[in-house]
Structure formats: structure tokens, C-alpha cells
Structure 1
Amino acid sequence: MTYEQIFLFTLLGFVFAFLVWGRIRYDLVAFSALIIAVIGGVVPMEHAFEGFGHEAVIIIALVLIVSRAMMNAGAVELVARLVISPDRPLSTHIGIMSVVGAAMSAIINNVAALVMLMTLDIEAAKKAKRAVSRSLMPLSFATILGGMITLIGTPPNIVIAQFRERALGTPFSMFDFSPVGLVCAVVGIVFVTTIGWRLLPEAGTEGTASEASDSGLFVAEAALDEKSKTMGQTPGDLMPLADEHDVTILGLVRNGKRLPGFASNEEIRASDLLVLEGDPKAIEAFIGAAELKAQGAEDHGGLRGKSLTLVEAIVPDNARIVGRTAMGLRLLYRRGVTLLGVSRQGKRFRERVRKLPILPGDVVLLLGPEARVADAAEWLGVLPLAEKSHVVVQRNKALFAIGAFGIGVAAAVAGLMPLAIALAAVVAVYALTNIVGAREVYEAVEWPVIVLLASLIPLGLALESSGGTLLIAEAILSLTGSLPTWGILALLMVVTMTLSDFLNNVATALIAAPVGLSIAQSLEVSPDPFLMGVAVAASCAFLTPIGHKNNTIIMGPGGYRFGDYWRMGLPLEILIIVVAVPSILFFWPL
């Protein structure tokens, strides 16, 4: 091997290791790798930042802004609320939600579609008095499957389309992914609707409507009011009142430290904090009944003040608060909002709520005036569950937003203008009509994903130009021996799908696409089936909660454990391979 190949393989090996490790943000890993490659001389200095102007990067950013606009205008809500009913049988409910989720994910970002539908699904679960864990994972998987139907449905499709343009002269168009994507989506939805949800474990996730509330049980802290009747009592004395409000008293915090055990017999002092566990409404009711107050509530009028709201919000992996604490961020001082409680997949913790490092998948309970909570949620990068915490929905503009988007897509499909220009024009219209504000235009973009993609594009080009992808292709071909072409395609998809379960799907697509092209060229067949296979496989990350952001988002509210994803995800991935290979070869012959 040449110096460039050895350098790039070693560097990418470290990149994959760090991405799987997950302790360092993936955008920092990718950007650092790009700089190292430039210093090492394998990426020319004049081409180092070409990825930031790449059309795929621009399209992904614009799609994210369009998704925010659709939510702001109530277009997603308008469609979803027409089909949600808690009175349907669970299989019927999952089927309808999955179809709606897949359809929405085909035209907007699948994360945005999941967040909106998840709120409605949780509400339906509460009204039907069933565990939300039964329907959240099928909904997440359905939105992932729906993204494969169109070019803009998922980032890997955009990456593959732009790679094809560079390699073969023309990109995949908007609906080139539709035949195969639609087959996979339909089969996948049928599976999760009829069989998949039955494979999910009952232990730890089954419960009543109160147990499967918006985000499960929170651990929160409450302070004594100056005139509280609780003064001088013990946590044990308060147990009957706590039971009445479905709240568990976990202990006391004194002088900044949690006392051992439940501290049931400790006399409560003026400066103590009571540690509580329960759902948000129960905690709020108990604090009022026991004449307590949320820590910091005096700064914005008290917990029961009319101007305050309690908002549950999910923490995605790219949120500002991940790995940090409310105290470290000075949340109350900077934003006038209190972090009242945290829900972590049903697990209890002994750390102070304000001093607890927040993890992806946590659900946080924010307290403050409605406007401040909404602002703080955006600043923290968390995804509010309660409808009142979302940006004000401009429902009178829903049809206008849908129409503007439809015209833009039609112009791109008709060849009147490139897709990037069409989407940019749609975003401009949304901004001029105040469907998205100037601030939201920037906040809607997931900048870590943009940096990741822009950093890996030059590395992928360098690996291809150095002959590295050809070496990988030759290694795969040597291992497959006398397998038929469809067998080699299936193997490529299995490898790509496995990588996507542990790495970002954009990174997986960038590396696997040139390998697929090299394999096709070595076999002297059309590269399109192999590129389409990479696109499908890179999107199908169902085995882990880290493979796709949607899987991370549902982990806390659904009470899922890491191993729960295998139960439904493994047979679904096998099913996708079985269905996708013949579909690809039928619609994209060799």
C-alpha cells in the first residue's frame, strides 16, 4: 500500500473508534480528522473546506429549515390530528401512526416528524390506558423507513445522489429512491404493525396511563416554604400525603449533599431539600399540598403561579446541555428557567438535580414562564413534548406552507432549477412570510451533522483518489469467492447496515458509496444497484439506540433498554435485506 492509503486507513480507523466510543462529539472527531489529513498531506490544503460548500451539505441544511417551517405552520399537526384516535385497537393505531409517520418523513426531516407524532402517540396512550412503549419504537422505525422513499427524506439518500453525480455525471433524482424505498417501507410497516410490537418486552415498560405518561417518572427537588407546615416533620410523616398524590419521597438534601438512604426519620430543617419521584402533575400537586416550593421558583413567581408552565423535553445527542449540568450552564440566571426534574429511563440517581450531567435520551422537566421556557428549550437544544412549549403554531399558514413546498419540489422535479435552489427559494418565502424567523433559520440546522458531512467529504474523496476504496472492494470480492452478484450486493448491504448501527449514517454512506462503486466496476456491472443498496442499508439502523437519532429520542419516554432494540430491530433488518435485494435488482437491473 502507498503512504496515502496507509495514512487514510489508519486515520479512518481512529475516526470509527472514536465515533463508536461516543465520548467525543462526532463533529469534533470528523473535523479533527480533516485537519490531520491536511497536515499529513493526503488532503490538499486548497480542497480542505470544499465540503462546506458541497451541494449535499446545503440541501440537508435547507431540508432541516423546511421541516421547522412545516411544524411552525401546523402542517404536520394538521395531518396527524386527523388520524389519531385512542379508541382503536393497538395494531390499528400502530399501523395508522406508522403510515402517517413514513409519509411525513418522506417530505420532511424524519426527526421532526417523530417529535410531532410522538407527542400525539403519548397522548393517545394515556387516554387508552396502555403502555406507550408498545407503540413508540414502531413509530420510530416507521419514520426511519419513510425517509428512504425520496431524495430529501434522509441524509444518506442526498449523499448517495450527489456521489453519483460526481462519479457518473448525473445524480439520482427526487423519486429515483421511491420504488425500492416504498417496497421496504411497506414491508417494514406491515412487520412492525403485526409482529414487531409484540416482540417488545413487557417488563419495565408496561403500565397504566399514569405510569406511561409523557416521559415516565421524574426525580425532582423541592424546598421548604418559610411558612411550610412541613417544618419539623420527617419524610416518613409525609409518606401518606405523598402516597395520596402518587409521589415517592426518595430522601433529603442537606448542606448540598444527599443524606444516606431515604432519611425517613430525619427531621426536616429550613434549608433542606426534599427529593421526590413521580410524574410532573403529581409532583406539582404534592408540592402545593405540602406547602413546598421548587428550588428557584421564587425567581419567577412560584410553582403555582399562573404565568408558569411545566414542560417536558427530550434531550437529543447534539443538545447544548448534554454532558453538562443546569448549575454549570447557570440556567436559572441566564434564562430564568429552573430544571425541576430529570427522567432517565426509570433509573434513580443520587446526584443533585441541578448538578446531574445530562445524557442523550434523558427527559428534563423545565419550570418557568411559557415564553422563557420555550426560549430556554431552544437554547439548550432539547425537544419539548408538551404542545404549549413549542413555537406558536401559525395554523392559518399551514396550507400556504404546504403549497409553497409543493411548488418548489415540482420545479426541481421538472428540471426548472436544481433542488438546492428550489429549496432555498422555499426557505426565502417562509422567512418573508414569518413562518420561520431569522433566528429559527439558523437554529433549525443541525450544525454538528453539517460539520460531520463537510469534514468527511474531503476524506472520502482522498480515500477514493488514493485507491483505498478499490482495495476495500477487492478485499470484499476476494472474500465472497464464487458468490453470485446478488450475494455480493447483499453482503455489501449487511456490512453497511452493521456500520450504520454504530456510526452516523452520513459517515457510513460517505465511506460505503465509493466501495460499492468500485465493486460494481470490478464486476463490470451497473453501479446503480450497489449505490441504491448502500443508500437503503445506511438508513436502516434499528439495532441500537445510537444508530439513529430517532432511536435515541424514544429511549427515555419509552423506558427502553439498550438490548430492547435488537428484539424488533434484528428481524426487521433481516427482512429489509431479503426484500431490498430483489427489489433493487428489479428496478435497477445489473
Structure 2
Amino acid sequence: MNHELLWVLGLLFTSVVLFIANKPRMDVVALLVIVALPLTGILSVQEALAGFSDPNVVLIAALFVIGEGLVRTGIAYRIGEWMADRAGNSEVRLLVLLMVCVAGLGSVMSSTGVVAIFIPVVLSIAARMKVSPSRLMMPLSFAGLISGMLSLVATPPNVVVHSELVRHGESGFSFFSFTPFGLVILALGVGYMLLTRHWLSGEVRKDGSPQTRRTLLDLIIDYKLAGRERRLRVRPDSPLIGHSLSELKLRTVHGANVVGIERQHKFTTRVISPDSSTTVHEGDVLLLDLFAPRDDLRSLCQTMKLEPLHFKAAYFIDQSHAVGMAEVAVVPGSQLIGKSVLELNFRSRWDLNVVGLRRGQNAIEEQLVEEKLKLGDTLLVIGPWKSVRQLQAQPKDFLVLSLPAEVDNVAPALNQAPYALISLAVMVGLMISGVVPNVIAALIACLLMGAGRCIDMNSAYRAIHWQSLVLIVGMLPFALALQKTGGIAIAVNVLVQLLGEAGPYLILACLFAITAIIGLFISNTATAVLMAPVAISTAEQLGASPYPFAMIVALAASAAFMTPVSSPVNTLVLGPGQYRFADFVKIGVPFTLLVMVVSVFMVPWIFAL
């Protein structure tokens, strides 16, 4: 072992220790590696910086942007809503749909982002079904990890391993090379979680711990809105058709405030925010805040030919992707003081409806629209999230006290969802056909999303997880340094001498185990960077195909089921699921062993050795 290899191994060991301690941050450690390797003379500056020009780094950055486009257009949230509708009150059906939807969506966007989106959805469903979130959160995280096994672009380790194959003169993996393994492991994961979810049957928390941010449900309770919501479909013979809301005067005559309209548009249903000039169409579903007694509602439906519809959640919470709320306080000198809500023409001026009024700790329910506002009153307004946000630019008249937590889940480009799906389909089609390189296909999809206004440049740059990219760029020189100093050759020789006579299956199992164990301490991307050259060189030493060896490393890099800190996906669900470290060990270790067994037998069967 030469002194140059000792330097590289020492630097690698130091980097791993710093990764585990997370001080400094991983991307800072990666930059230190880029600086250190040229100073030792082992690599040139060009070799140390080669990762910045690697096409696969650009590909990963583009995939972050595409994932953000799917979020901004609300596709992820719509899948969550569809899942909740289909599940009904069946926990088994919910778990199956949850894992399938999360895995499918995670195959084309960041699994971390998908899990973050679904956490509030799952918490809401768990509360409605009165089951512990712990029975659903771990299946959610496992599905997010399994999604990395479904396609080439599902997770950075897949791209890293593919890139290493190309560097060794191979053609690399196709877009769906991973899919057979991912589908089998997903089915295995669903069955496994159905059997083991009873080990996670914690109690629903009732400790009254304070929330850092209020939710829409909190506002509905505080302002006593429950029971006032109505959904009424406009029948074909309704006299409302063709008339504007100003002409109909539903609020003054019938005590019915139209806060939104569900309207069919091509293939989707949109929720539009009405103003005084909005015309009612046949088939519209009116979302009403109703002050009138129940008898008056029956009379309204009979007279205006309206059909009552059921509700999915209290006071239009199910429409929170389009309709938002905010609390605003009347400040000194405000022009609102001494005027009623009707006199203010709130809807016409700010595109919002006032649905609640609190004076002190008391919510005023009677004659809300006619109550004269006083200094210190708090209004609850409802309307499009865009208009809710614009209230913050009106400090002279009122002060926005708080925006509910749901504002973080708003899809600002909701109407552009078809363009996002088209862009995604174009990318997948180009990758499958091989007409252009994968990185070009991803960049074309990014440009299409920009042209379709699914995402803007600021959002695109914010979507890129720069820490992950810098980590990849910083770890790539390690693989080259180990190769130049003979480190990879030594690791391969040891592996072949110890296990060569035992056969390729045992070597594949050993590679899987080593990769999974290393992934407990450092990121799966860094693990793939280190292990891919070892696996491919081992195949060359044995005179075997490199594809099974490369695939086993990629699958093992995604099998981060064993601890809550082995993947950001697991860390995300740790709090909402009220898990302990031991919970992941108890559930994750047996499942990782199952995945290893399945992978070791499937990989040589699909990719001949």
C-alpha cells in the first residue's frame, strides 16, 4: 500500500467521520475534498473539478426542477385527494393506495419532496379515520425509498451508477431497467407493512401541545364557521343562469355569500373566485357561506332550482389548494373603522370575502355583514391564495395577523397541470427512445415547463438542492483518486479472494450488505459514488457482466430502511409518526434483509452474469 493511497484513505475516513457528525455540513466537506486532493498531487485541478461538468450532475439538477413543476401545478396534491376519496374508511385500502401513489410519484420526482407533500394529507386522513399516524407514516417513508428503485431518474444513486457504467465503456441502464425490481419490492413492501403495521399501533396524541402555526381547521373553530358551508349545483332550469352575482344579490336577499364556484373546464374542475361581475353557468357548483336558517335554504333551493351536494371536509377545507383564509386586524387610522362589511365592498376591492368577525375573544355570528367595525376587531377573510398574500401589502388599513399552515401546500400554477404532464411525458418518451441523451431530454422538459408557466426561473433555482449537487461533485474525485492509487484494485482483490470460490450470488449479497451498511452513515449518493467502481471492477475481475453488480449497488443504495437517520425520507416522518429509533430498527432491518434476498436472486435472473 503506497503513501498516496494512505493519504486518500485517510481523507476518506475523515470525510465519513465529518459526514456522521454533520459538522461542518456535507457540502462543505465535499468542497474541502475538492481542495485537498489537488494539494496532495494525486489529482490535477481539472480532475478534481471534473464533477462540475459531469452531464449527470446537470441531469439531477434538471430533475429537481421538474419535480418542483409537478408540485407547483398541484399534481401531487390532486393524487393525494384522489387517494383519500378512494380509501374511504378502509385502513388497508388507504395503506395500499398510499404506498402505490407515493412510489409512483417518487419515480419521477424527489422522494423527499413527495413524502413532505403527503405528510399533512396522511395526518388529516388519520385524524378522520381515528387511527394512529404511526400506522401510516412508516409505510409512507418506505414507499418513498422504494420509489428510487422504479426508474433510472428516480434517485441520484441510479444516475451515478449508470454514469459509472458509461465510463467503463458500457451503454448503461435504460429508463425502465430498474422497474421490474422496484415493482416486486413495492409489492413486497405493501404486504410487509400490512402485516407489521400492528407493531406500530401507537395512540393518537392528545397532549394538547401547542402548534407553531394555526391551521384552517383552527380558524373554522375560532370563528364558528362549521355548519354554515353549503355546496349547491346549478340545475339546467335554474333562473340564476346567465346572471351576474351583483344582479342576483344572494347575500342581501338570501343571506348566502358565494365564496367560490367549482366550474368544469375541459378535463378538470377549477375553483374560481367570483366577483360581482361573475356570471353563473349551468352545472356550476356554488360554494356558499350561509347565514340563513335551514328552512330558508330549502326555499332557496326550490326557488332557484339548486341541488344540494355532500361535503368532503368542514367549511371547504378540501378546496384548500385553491381557496385560502387569513386573519386581519383593524389598525388605528384604518378606513375600515365605523363601516360595515357591506359598506366596504371587500370583495370588489380586495377579491376576498369576509366570513368571520371576532371582537376580543368572542366571534360575532348575528348580522355579521351589518356590524360596524371597531379598532382591534379581527376579520377572517376567504378567497384565492394570491389575494390572501396581497393583503400583506395593505398595512395602512389592516394588519395580516397570520396565514394558516396550509399556505405552504398551495399550488401557485394549478391551472397549468396539463402542461406539466405533457412536459413529463415528453421527457420520459425521449429517455425511453434514446433519441437524445438523458440530460438533454430533462432540459427539454424544463424548458417546456417554463414555456407552459408551470415554473418560473426563481422557483427553478430554489428547487435545485444545491447541497446534494455539491456533495456529488465533491465525492466523484474520490472514486478517481482511489482508482489512480490502486485502492479500488485492492478492494476488488480482497473481495474476490475471500468470496470468489463461493460464487457470484454470495459476492452480490456481500456488495449489497456493504453498500447498505455504508449508507447508514453517509448519504446514499456518496455511497453509490464509492461502491459503483468497486462493483464494476469486481465484475471485470471475475469476467462477468458488470450490469448485475452495478444494479445491486443501486438497489442497496435505496434500501435505507434501517434507521431514522439513514435517509431524509425517514427523518421527515420521525416526528409526525411519533417513532423511536428502535421502531425503524425493528421494522427496517428485517425488510432490508428481505429486499437483499429478492435482489440477489432477481438481478442475475434479469441481467445474465
TM value normalised by structure 1: 0.70
- Report Cα offsets for 1:409-435 as digits up to 9, x if no partner: 202221221111111111112123321
Residue 43 of structure 2 corresponds to residue 43 of structure 1: yes
Residue 53 of structure 2 corresponds to residue 63 of structure 1: no
Q: CA deviation at 1:183?
A: 1.8
1:187 and 1:84, CA in 2 relative to 1: closer, same or farther beyond 3 A? same
1:107 corresponds to? 108
1:195 and 1:438, CA in 2 relative to 1: closer, same or farther beyond 3 A? same
Are the aligned partners of 1:180 and 1:587 in contact in 2 as well (CA < 8 Å)?
no
2:320 corresponds to? none
Residue 18 of structure 2 corresponds to residue 18 of structure 1: yes
Residue 564 of structure 2 corresponds to residue 563 of structure 1: no
CA distance in 2, matches of 1:483, 1:52: 41
2:292 corresponds to? none
Q: CA deviation at 1:470?
A: 1.5
Q: CA deviation at 1:522?
A: 1.9
Helix, strand or coil: the match of 2:520?
helix
Structure 1 unmatched ranges of 5 or more: 222-286, 292-300, 312-334, 337-366, 374-385
Q: CA deviation at 1:585?
A: 0.9
Are the aligned partners of 2:518 and 2:527 in contact in 1 as well (CA < 8 Å)?
yes
Out of 577, 582, 594, which is 1:575 matched to? 594
For 1:5-404, list aligned pairs within 5 A: 5-85=5-85, 87-192=88-193, 194-200=194-200, 202=202, 206-207=203-204, 217-218=210-211, 289=361, 306=380, 369-370=402-403, 386-404=405-423
CA distance in 2, matches of 1:506, 1:518: 19
Q: CA deviation at 1:187?
A: 1.4
CA distance in 1, matches of 2:6, 2:480: 15
1:430 corresponds to? 449
Are the aligned partners of 2:150 and 2:182 in contact in 1 as well (CA < 8 Å)?
yes
1:219 and 1:446, CA in 2 relative to 1: closer, same or farther beyond 3 A? closer
Name the aligned partner's letter for residue 128 of structure 1.
Answer: M
Q: CA deviation at 1:501?
A: 2.0
- Report Cα offsets for 1:47-90 as digits up to 9, x if no partner: 22110121121111111110000011111222231121463332
Q: CA deviation at 1:479?
A: 3.5
Out of 579, 583, 587, which is 2:606 matched to? 587
CA distance in 1, matches of 2:543, 2:461: 45
Are the aligned partners of 2:450 and 2:456 in contact in 1 as well (CA < 8 Å)?
yes
2:270 corresponds to? none
CA distance in 2, matches of 1:429, 1:168: 32
1:483 and 1:426, CA in 2 relative to 1: closer, same or farther beyond 3 A? same
CA distance in 2, matches of 1:540, 1:302: 55
Are the aligned partners of 2:419 and 2:454 in contact in 1 as well (CA < 8 Å)?
no
CA distance in 1, matches of 2:43, 2:183: 38
- Report Cα offsets for 1:149-169 as digits up to 9, x if no partner: 101111110111111111133
Q: CA deviation at 1:483?
A: 2.0
Out of 534, 543, 547, which is 1:528 matched to? 547
Mean Cα displacement is larger for which, 159-168 or 474-483? 474-483
CA distance in 1, matches of 2:550, 2:360: 60
Identity of aligned residues (%): 27
Q: CA deviation at 1:493?
A: 0.2
CA distance in 2, matches of 1:177, 1:303: 59
Name the aligned partner's letter for residue 26 of structure 1.
Answer: M
Q: CA deviation at 1:211?
A: 6.1
Helix, strand or coil: the match of 1:501?
coil
Q: CA deviation at 1:21?
A: 1.8
Helix, strand or coil: the match of 1:563?
helix
Q: CA deviation at 1:182?
A: 2.1
1:211 and 1:550, CA in 2 relative to 1: closer, same or farther beyond 3 A? farther
Name the aligned partner's letter for residue 536 of structure 2.
Answer: L
CA distance in 2, matches of 1:579, 1:220: 44
1:31 and 1:290, CA in 2 relative to 1: closer, same or farther beyond 3 A? farther
Mean Cα displacement is larger for which, 139-148 or 556-565? 556-565
Out of 396, 401, 418, which is 2:437 matched to? 418
1:432 and 1:290, CA in 2 relative to 1: closer, same or farther beyond 3 A? same
1:348 corresponds to? none
Greater radius of gyration (CA) = 2
CA distance in 1, matches of 2:500, 2:444: 50
Question: Matched residue pairs, number?
Answer: 442
CA distance in 2, matches of 1:181, 1:288: 57
Q: CA deviation at 1:181?
A: 2.3
Q: CA deviation at 1:307?
A: 7.0
Q: CA deviation at 1:475?
A: 2.1
1:542 corresponds to? 561
CA distance in 1, matches of 2:479, 2:127: 47
Helix, strand or coil: the match of 2:502?
coil
Are the aligned partners of 1:308 and 1:369 in contact in 2 as well (CA < 8 Å)?
no
Helix, strand or coil: the match of 2:436?
coil
Structure 2 unmatched ranges of 5 or more: 215-358, 364-374, 386-391, 394-399
Q: CA deviation at 1:482?
A: 3.7
Are the aligned partners of 1:34 and 1:459 in contact in 2 as well (CA < 8 Å)?
no
1:295 corresponds to? none
- Report Cα offsets for 1:163-219 as digits up to 9, x if no partner: 111113322121111122222222122212x223223263xxx216x669xxx7547
- Report Cα offsets for 1:518-574 as digits up to 9, x if no partner: 221222211111100000001110111221111111112122222221121111101
Name the aligned partner's letter for residue 197 of structure 2.
Answer: W
CA distance in 2, matches of 1:89, 1:190: 16
CA distance in 2, matches of 1:548, 1:446: 15
Helix, strand or coil: the match of 1:82?
helix
TM value normalised by structure 2: 0.68
